[in-house]
Amino acid sequence: MKVLVIGGGGREHIIVKKLKESDRVTEIFAAPGNGGIALDATCVAIKDDAIDELAAFAEKQQIDWTIVGPEIPLTKGIVDAFRAKNLKVFGPTKDAALIEGSKDYAKAFMKQYNIPTAQYETFTDAEQAKKYIQAQGAPIVIKADGLAAGKGVVVAMTEQQAIEAVEDMLVDNKFGAAGSRVVIEEYLEGKEFSLFAFVDGENVYPMVPARDHKRAFDHDEGPNTGGMGAFSPVPDLDTKDIEFTVEHILKPVAKGMKQEGRTYTGVLYGGLIETESGPKVIEFNARFGDPETQVVLPLLENDLIQVIEDVTSGRDPELQWKDGYAIGTVVASKGYPAAYQKDIALPDLTTDDDVYVIHAGTGQAEDGSFYSTGGRVLLVGSIQDSPEQAQQQIYQYLTKFDQSDDFFYRKDIGFSKK
């Protein structure tokens, strides 16, 4: 089988690595890929949202399956375009991907189908939004309606912070069209977790839960990021909460999407929070999450391509999971999630069997060394019998970055209580 993976981040690298384990996969392409992905697949210089070019490439190469990693090509309709050419592609259609593409749509959908989530209102007028904030008080959550690369959410602990967020989005146009409408939500107390599921129509096959760390610095301080690390499974998460999430959130979403004429196929990501009144939805994503995928997929015993074939053929993939704990810590460029420098040389990334390295924002020089190309540069992960053992292996490996002022990483991934 020939497989094409769309995207060039850490999520796509772990998907490629998982595909490499399959006896059925003979050739893997990644578009555009990155420096580390090039060690495991053939990188193709096509942007992940150049849909026509990607479809033409898949036709020419006679690709058997295409797996779409990022949200932007999904919300632009890459699945529809591939299907129109009878190309096998795993991911939701443009209509179904709206559950991530518009937070306003997702909230209205949840209200319609009685899916537990925070109370909210949507605004396009800054003055009305500010009046609502003053009426509700803080803490309160401000979200850009559209896609903002994981950065369009402000958890405002004061009314002033909330008002500034509204001005950033609706007045100063900080997120462009994505922020031309804002969703303002009640602040929910509790521990967050992520639960992915393979979905086809009304069939839902949940994976193991994970928890990521969004804040840039130790002790969950600093600005929100795309994620500074993750771990799976989640020891403090009750089985009843997982079962509730599957039965009262994920399955009703799949059923509701079908009723809406937006039948869902692909990975559905539930970003959730355990509250005193049970799990509630923070957000949905229409694909694997990043960085949680880098700790969930390494625990999957099944052949990924077989899982995709089973799910899309109406068969139960009978997911099997390794015993153990996976933890992954992100190494980021100094300054991230704000401005940062690129093209900084990375130390030798040779590993042993105790850790694995997933490349997110890297390029490879002619001499084989790697350099940074993004804010999140790579993730160092480990699977061990206990969280403490995994942490020990990861942080021992990461000492090689301690001599550099150009990179930083959190030293409490898997430790901090959210």
CB 291 within 8 A of CB 311: no
Q: How many CB atoms lie within 10 A of CB 149?
A: 13
User: Dihedral of the CA atoms 337, 338, 339, 345 (nearest 10)?
Assistant: -20
- pLDDT score of 150: 63
- pLDDT score of 418: 41
Distance CA 38, CA 281 (A): 36
Distance CA 180, CA 367 (A): 46
CB 265 within 8 A of CB 90: yes
CB 213 within 8 A of CB 325: no
- Mean model confidence pLDDT for the chain: 94
Quick one: CA dihedral 187, 121, 201, 61, positive or negative? Answer: negative
pLDDT band with cut points at 50, 70 and 90 for residue 177: confident
pLDDT band with cut points at 50, 70 and 90 for residue 179: confident
CB 72 within 8 A of CB 48: yes
Task: At 87, give phi and psi (nearest 5°).
Answer: -100, 135
313, 332, 408: which is closest to 374 by C-alpha? 332
Mean pLDDT over 365-381 rounds to 96
304, 349, 350: which is closest to 331 by C-alpha? 349
Strands 65-68 and 89-90: parallel
pTM: 0.94
Q: ω into residue 206 within 30 of 0, thus cis?
A: no
Distance CA 79, CA 162 (A): 37
- Determine the 3-state secondary structure of 268 from DSSP: strand
Q: Could you give all domains of the chain from N- to C-terminal order, each with its CATH number?
A: 2-91 (3.40.50.20), 119-186 (3.30.1490.20), 191-312 (3.30.470.20), 325-408 (3.90.600.10)
Q: What residues contact residue 74 under an 8 Å CB cut-off, 6+ apart?
A: 68, 91, 92, 94, 97, 100, 101, 266, 286, 287
Q: How far is CA 236 from the centre of its chain?
A: 21
pLDDT digit string, tens, across residues 246-276: 999 999 999 999 999 999 999 999 999 999 9
pLDDT digit string, tens, across residues 81-109: 999 999 999 999 999 999 999 999 999 99
86 or 352, which is more confident? 86
289, 350, 376: which is closest to 34 by C-alpha? 376
**Cα–Cα distance list, 34 to 105, 192, 358, 394 (Å):** 33, 30, 10, 22
Position 221 pLDDT exceeds 80: yes
Q: Determine what percent of the chain is predicted with pLDDT higher than 70.
A: 99
Structural tokens at position 271: 């970003």
What 3 state SS string does 322-350 have?
Answer: CCCEEEEEEEEECCCCCCCCCCCECCCCC
Could you tell me how many residues make up the chain?
418
216, 249, 136: which is closest to 411 by C-alpha? 216
- Residue with the two structure tokens 């896609």: 147
Mean pLDDT over 352-375 rounds to 95
215, 235, 239, 210: which is closest to 225 by C-alpha? 215
CB 11 within 8 A of CB 290: yes
Distance CA 48, CA 93 (A): 16
Distance CA 184, CA 162 (A): 9
Position 126 pLDDT exceeds 70: yes
